[in-house]
Structures are given as C-alpha cells and as structure tokens.
C-alpha cells in the first residue's frame, strides 16, 4: 500500500474498532468474535507503529475498555485499571520473557520469575474496603473512570462484605464472570421466552452486573476471581508483599476467591508448557478463559520495567485462537419467537467443538444465509462465537457435489400457517422474517413464559412446561388469564396436586404487586427491555399514561430512541392492548408507581457520600433512606458532592472531603434534614 492507502486503512480500522468496542464494552452485544476484533486491533497497532506520522492520541490503541455509563454514578480510579498487551503465538511470549529478563539483568537483577495464570473472560471490577468493610464496587470503564455498581456487587455471593483485615483501606481488582452452568440456564430461559440470546458468558456477565435493579443481578448466578491488589495494606503490621504471588496468596487468606492454577517460574519452556496445559484444561473448566496471563512476579522488578501509554511492560496476555471444524449441514429448521420473529436454525452432523458436542447453530436471519451462500447439504465450517454460541462461518464450496439445495423461507408460518412478512431492513433488527398473526400458538407460549419470567412478573412455577400444559388444557389464551385460573382443575392435572396448585396461586397473587415497570417489561413490547421499562415508568408514573403519550414525549426519556418510542406508541395504540390492561387492572395487578415516602423530595438535587459506621443504621440502610427522599448516593467524593455523612472510623473519604471543602455531617444531621 502507498501512504494514502495506509492512511485510509488506518482511518477505516479506527472506525470499525470504535464501532465494535461500543458494542462489546458499552452495549454487551458483540457482532464479531474476540479473535476477529483482536486481529483488527493488531493490524492497526502495526500500521501505526510502521507509520508514526499517522498515529493519534485519540486512536483506540491508546484507550482502555469502554466508557462509564451515565446510568451509574462515576467512580474515579486512584490507580489506573489498565489492559494488557495481547500476543498470539508462543514465539511472542518467549520474546516478551527474554525482553523483560534482558532489561532486568541490565539493572543488576539476577533472578527473574513470572506467574502464569488463566485469563478469566469476564468483566473487570475494583472492590474498595475500609476497615475491612466493602464500601464500593466499580467497573473498569475507560480505566480512569468506572461505574458505581456497589449494590449489584453485593449480590454476588463470593464477594465478602467484610474481610479478616481491618487496615484503613484496601482496593483489589477482580474479574466478575458468569459460570457456564448459569449462562446455559439464562440462555435457555431467554430462548423459551423468545428473547435474544446472549452471545457469550462475558457479555452476559457484563449485562447482568450493569442492571438498574440489583434483584435482577442477584438472580444471574455471577461469580468472581480476585487477581490483584491495587493499593492499600495487606498486613496489619504495615509490611508490604514482595511478589504478586504472595499478594494473591494473602488475598485468599483474608477471604477472597482467587485462582489456584498459577505457576511461578523463570524457565521459558515451563511457561510454554503451562500455557499448553491451560489450553488443554480449558474445555473442562466451569468458567470461560480466553487466554493466559504472563506477569513478572516481583513487584519491585515491575517498577523497574515500568509501563507504556496504556499497558504495562511487565505482563502480556496470550490469547487462544478460536477452534473451527467442518461438519455437514443436514437441514434448516425454523423457530417462532414471542415477537413473531422466525429464526432459522442449522441442524448439523454432531461435531466436538471447544469441549462440547455441537449439533445445532443459529443462522440469525435470511440475510446471513444469503451472504454466506449456505445451502442444505453443504459441508460447513463451524465455530463458537465467543467460544460458546455455535455459528456457521462459511460453506466449503469446493466440496459440493450438486446435491446441495439453497434454502428459501416459506410463505407461511411453520406454527400457525399465518402470513410471513419481512421487517423493514432500515429498522433496528431489520432483515428478520416475522409472523404477524397475534394468535400464533408459538408466539402465545413464548409471550406467556416471558410474562411470568423472573425479570418480568416473576411467577414461580409458571415456566415453559407449565405454560405449555395450561395452553393445551385451554386455560391460557392471554396473560390476563393467569389471574383467573381454575386452581381446582390445576390440582387435578398430572404431576400437580393441591400443594402445587396452592403454591402457584400464591405466586400469581404476589405478582400483582410487582409494579408498572415490571409489568411493562412483561408485556414484551418490541425493543423495550427491563432498563427501558424502568426509565419510562419513572417518567410517566403509570401504564395508563402510556396510552396518551406521544412519540416525542417517549423520546424525551433518557436512552429511549426513535425505534423504541415508535414500538411503544404502536403497542399502546392497539385495541387489544387496552383490553388486556383493563383485564389486568380488574384482576388487581398494580399499574401505577407507588407514592414516594413522606418527605420524599427533601433531599432532591443533593449528592451524598457515606463513610464509617453509623450508630443506628447500616450504610445500605442510609443509602436507601437518601434515595427514598430524592437524593443521590455516590461512592467517591468530588466537587459535586453535597455532603459527606461520616460515622465511626471514617476512611479516606473524610480526608478528601476536607481537601475539597465538602460539608461533613453525621447520621443525626442527615435524619434531621429528612424531617
């Protein structure tokens, strides 16, 4: 390429990487595999290094992760949460090891050891403790500023709220991940509801941790491995650890979940052997790893080596290549989701891939089939997107023998025989084929399962099997029918009984009080998930108000765009929607937001930071009280902080308040403000 072509290629790569980074880090919805992204990133780094005149400080190669979401309070990281330089071959690992040794030998260091540990595929977070108590959990964000997700962090069972160490402060870094069993359960529930499947456990973990409702996070089965001390004290006698491996061992002693599979060695051959061993173990683990991290073990030697602009010189991450295999595409079958979208699925000759047997793969939509020229009877290349979701990469055209047949969508729905139409290709999610029959049995079943699911009305005992059975008995034709069930008839059904029917009745009764945000989410309006439902109800206050809301008013809600606003307006313009909401209200389902507590606006516009132990309430209770009265709670002190509420044994936040001139009050003063 000439210089102009190189410049244009760099610009194009930056645009593509920025686009896919936003999908990966901010939206938790990647469109390409990690490997494809890594290869683009490596090409950009190489071109910038070879052509420094085209380098730029705003290039993605000089940034870390994604942006902090405005949905959460920002947290400034005292120590930058950086990323690592990726390498993709054993030769690159050896080059790194030799480079580090050579530099350290020049500085008089005669023994250099490295840790070799799995690279957990999850979401990086920091956990801040004061006097042994968890006070803040934050996402990495862009490395300098993350999101305050403390309430959601507290729902993860393996994260201790208190640790066996009462030093003034300790900040650790870990990787929140979703175990494979939790991921499979979550995607099974989503598939049954006709919802969009998560691409991989990493994105499912990120989406789960960034929920506005902590109870949703609590039900997702998240876990964590803590792998680093950021700053603070690990020993009460004031001494500091000498090595990374010592610090991790100490973190385990005081109550953190850490990775056991760590080798410490200075031998190049042992490092490569450890990488290969982890690669072999990878399919057998209960969680995902996407590579191996190699770090200099001595903390003093790390200081000698220093850091690049955004990555340390004392560590690299070896990334596993994606595994691909050939198999036979036997057939293409169709599934109808709750919104009527008809999704093609590839039925494959079973093949062992990344530790599991794969016999089916999603084809997403008709456009994918056409673009990749995939035909029934083809030999196809299969891999797992993000190493989890099977997908067809391409067909092997040179192995065709003339018996292969192009796939064409039928004109009628495979479930009800109703008309199939193509969505507007310019609309979000365009290109999908949809059944427009509102009475389609496949849609009805998935809509009802979604309505009763945990993230919606949370009716325990009303899963896919129960819904299917009740539809077959003629008891369910609408979500409103859930509130007029004949429990005597249910008790007489096979596998039920009086206790089962009684428990179901209680679960249905409890669901009536879930509130309008959960109800809106349960209704399954296209493009309107849990977060959007919460934001809309916070603005309009009730389901009834949505019948009168204009698209412009809906678009005024934060994060609600044209497509979502149009979908909501369209849904609430239907006469059957009015009939459904009328029946739900008549059954006693709550459709209006609860009134705020007395004095509920006394702290409106004020931001509070909590530190120390309070006399009559916990910090969580104090935070809830502030929020219930219109205030905001942040985990870090800044010039925008209105008050710091300090109790016994306050931490560094009190010092920060003094430096910034922020007013400090106690619990009694806070209570008086509310009164």
Mark out the alpha helices in 254-406 (DSSP H runs).
268-281, 299-305, 366-371
Half-sphere exposure of 114 (CA within 13 A, CB side): 29
Let me know if 119 is a catalytic residue: yes
Q: What gap in Å lies between CA 433 and CA 411, rounded to an integer?
A: 10
| Residue 28 Ramachandran class (φ > 0 left, ψ -120 to 50 alpha, else beta) | left
Q: 339 and 528 in contact (C-beta within 8 Å)?
A: no
What DSSP string describes 229-256?
Answer: EEEE-SSTTS---SBHHHHHHHHHHTT-
* Residue 659 three-state SS: helix
What is the CA 575 to chain-centroid distance, rounded?
Answer: 36
Integer Cα distance of 530 and 69 in angstroms:
16
- Residue of 197, 183, 138 whose CA lies nearest to 288: 183
Among 114, 129, 80, 68, which Cα is nearest to 256's? 129
Which single residue is written with the structure tokens 């606003």?
A: 565
- Closest by CA to 451, choosing from 437, 470, 434, is 470
Which residues, listed in sequence order, are joined to residue 356 by a DSSP beta bridge?
353
Distance CA 554, CA 560 (A): 7
The C-alpha atoms of residue 548 and residue 578 are separated, in whole angstroms, by 12
Give the CB-side neighbour count of residue 328, counting CA atoms within 13 A. 8
CA distance 665 to 662: 10
Among residues 101, 119, 384, 632, the one annotated as catalytic is 119
Distance in angstroms (rounded) separating the CA atoms of residues 297 and 301? 8
Bridge partner residues of 118 (DSSP): 292
| Alpha carbons 350 and 328: distance in angstroms, whole number | 8
Q: What are phi and psi of 128, to 5 degrees?
A: -110, 130
DSSP annotation of 593? P
- Tokens found for residue 499: 């206790």
CB within 8 A of 595, min separation 6: which ones?
none
Which sequence positions are flagged as catalytic? Answer: 119
């Amino acid at each position: 390429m000439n210089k102009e072509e190189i410049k244009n290629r760099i610009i194009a790569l930056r645009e593509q990487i920025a686009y896919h980074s936003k999908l990966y880090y901010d939206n938790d919805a990647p469109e390409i595999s990690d490997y494809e992204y890594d290869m683009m990133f490596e090409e950009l780094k190489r071109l910038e290094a070879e052509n420094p005149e085209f380098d730029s400080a705003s290039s993605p190669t000089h940034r870390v992760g994604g942006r902090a979401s405005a949905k959460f309070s920002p947290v400034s990281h005292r120590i930058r949460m950086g990323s690592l330089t990726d390498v993709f071959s054993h030769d690159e690992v050896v080059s790194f090891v030799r480079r580090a040794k050579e530099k350290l030998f020049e500085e008089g260091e005669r023994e250099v050891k490295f840790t070799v540990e799995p690279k957990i595929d999850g979401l990086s977070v920091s956990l801040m403790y004061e006097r042994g108590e968890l006070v803040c959990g934050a996402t990495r964000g862009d490395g300098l500023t993350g999101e305050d997700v403390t309430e959601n962090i507290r729902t993860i069972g393996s994260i201790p709220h208190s640790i066996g160490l009462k030093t003034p402060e300790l900040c650790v870094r870990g990787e929140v991940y979703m175990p494979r069993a939790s991921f499979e359960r979550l995607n099974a529930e989503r598939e049954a509801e006709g919802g969009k499947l998560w691409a991989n456990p990493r994105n499912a973990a990120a989406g789960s941790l960034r929920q506005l409702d902590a109870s949703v996070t609590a039900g997702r089965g998240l876990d964590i491995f803590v792998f680093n001390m950021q700053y603070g004290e690990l020993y009460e006698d004031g001494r500091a650890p000498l090595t990374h491996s010592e610090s991790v061992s100490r973190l385990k002693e005081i109550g953190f979940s850490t990775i056991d599979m760590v080798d410490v060695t200075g031998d190049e051959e042992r490092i490569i052997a450890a990488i290969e061993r982890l690669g072999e173990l990878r399919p057998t683990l209960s969680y995902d790893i996407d590579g191996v991290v190699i770090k200099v073990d001595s903390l003093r030697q790390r200081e000698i080596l220093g850091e690049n602009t955004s990555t340390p010189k004392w560590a690299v991450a070896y990334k596993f290549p994606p595994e691909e295999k050939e198999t036979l595409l036997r057939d293409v079958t169709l599934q109808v989701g709750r919104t009527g979208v008809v999704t093609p699925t590839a039925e494959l000759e079973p093949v062992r891939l990344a530790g599991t047997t794969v016999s089916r793969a999603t084809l997403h939509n008709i456009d994918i089939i056409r673009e990749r020229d995939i035909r029934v009877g083809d030999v196809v290349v299969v891999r797992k997107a993000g190493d989890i979701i099977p997908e067809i990469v391409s067909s092997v055209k040179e192995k065709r023998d003339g018996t292969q047949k192009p796939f064409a969508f039928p004109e009628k729905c495979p479930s009800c025989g109703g008309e199939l139409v193509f969505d507007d290709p310019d609309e979000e999610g365009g290109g999908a084929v949809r059944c427009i029959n509102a009475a389609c049995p496949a849609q009805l079943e998935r809509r009802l399962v979604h309505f009763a699911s945990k993230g919606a009305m949370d009716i325990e005992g009303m899963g896919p099997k129960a819904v299917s059975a009740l539809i077959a008995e003629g008891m369910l034709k609408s979500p409103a029918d859930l509130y007029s069930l004949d429990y005597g008839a249910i008790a007489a059904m096979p596998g039920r009984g009086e206790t089962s029917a009684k428990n179901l009745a209680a679960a249905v009764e409890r669901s009536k009080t879930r509130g309008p945000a959960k109800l809106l989410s349960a209704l399954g309006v296209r493009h309107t998930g849990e977060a959007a439902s919460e934001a809309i109800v916070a603005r309009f206050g009730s389901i009834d108000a949505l019948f009168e809301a204009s698209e412009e008013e809906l678009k005024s809600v934060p994060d609600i765009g044209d497509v979502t606003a149009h979908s909501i307006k369209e849904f609430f313009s239907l006469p059957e929607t009015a009939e459904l909401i009328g029946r739900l209200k008549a059954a006693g389902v709550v459709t209006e937001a609860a009134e705020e507590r007395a004095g509920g606006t006394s702290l409106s516009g004020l931001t509070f930071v909590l530190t120390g132990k309070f006399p009559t309430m916990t910090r969580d209770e104090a935070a809830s009280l502030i929020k219930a009265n219109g205030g905001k709670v942040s985990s870090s002190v800044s010039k925008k902080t209105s008050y710091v509420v300090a109790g016994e044994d306050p931490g560094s936040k009190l010092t920060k308040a003094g430096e910034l001139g922020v007013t400090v009050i106690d619990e009694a003063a806070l209570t008086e403000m509310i009164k």
